Amino acid sequence: MEGLVIALIRVAGSLPVLRWAFVGGLIAVFIDLSDLFLRQAIDLGGLSNYQEWDKWVDQVYIWLFLIVALQWSGWERRVALGLFGWRFIGFLAFAAGAGREVLIFFPHVFEFWFLFVAARPHWPSKLRPGWAQAADGTPAPLTRPEAVRWLLFLAALKIFHEYTLHTGKWFDKCSPIEFFENLSDCIGPV
């Protein structure tokens, strides 16, 4: 029952991305992360295999992100499709029993890329160094070198994030609240 309640919250939290790409994407990611706290707050029997359950429920917001990304063009779309496909291969390997450590090789960079591209039109023009502007004042599509630079930066961030979750398993050793209260004990030797 606990898994069903949290899954319904996660699905509802994913839907705003269809209306507002950036804000809806942030809501979906926030709701995705909130299940770490919801599991502590709701006591309806627990989740026997949280990591597996989480990866399946993640598919809702990931596919909704893809629906939005399919409306993009140029490098924004090409990179999004490639990153989606790469992570989906990792998800399939994980679902087939490869273990969650495999996810470090298939990082969910698609999520970070999606938020980056969705945020670009909302950045103040003074924070867009070197970006060409379209006639309406929004950022022009990314060039290949810009896409590569941003992709490398976002990939580095996401690989570290995947390490903390699936290889270092920092949140496995304690609850999220305990993690922040006593960071060094929860991480242990790195």
pLDDT of residue 76: 94
Give the 3-state secondary structure of residue 187.
helix
CA dihedral 43, 1, 39, 154 (to 10 degrees): 180
Q: Which of 16, 79, 5, 90 is nearest to 55 (CA)?
A: 90
Non-local (6+) Cβ contacts of 142 within 8 A are 74, 75, 76, 150
Question: What does the pLDDT look like over 86-124, one tens digit per residue?
Answer: 999 999 999 998 887 888 888 889 999 999 999 988 877
Alpha-helix runs per DSSP H in the chain: 2-14, 21-41, 50-69, 74-93, 109-119, 144-162, 176-181, 183-187
Percent over 90 (pLDDT), the chain? 41
Angle at 180 between CA 39 and CA 29, to 5 degrees: 55
Q: Which of 93, 27, 87 is nearest to 63 (CA)?
A: 87
In whole angstroms, give the CA distance from residue 106 to residue 93: 10
Q: What's the predicted TM-score (pTM) here?
A: 0.79
Question: What does the pLDDT look like over 142-166, one tens digit per residue?
Answer: 889 989 999 999 999 988 887 877 6
In whole angstroms, give the CA distance from residue 89 to residue 85: 6
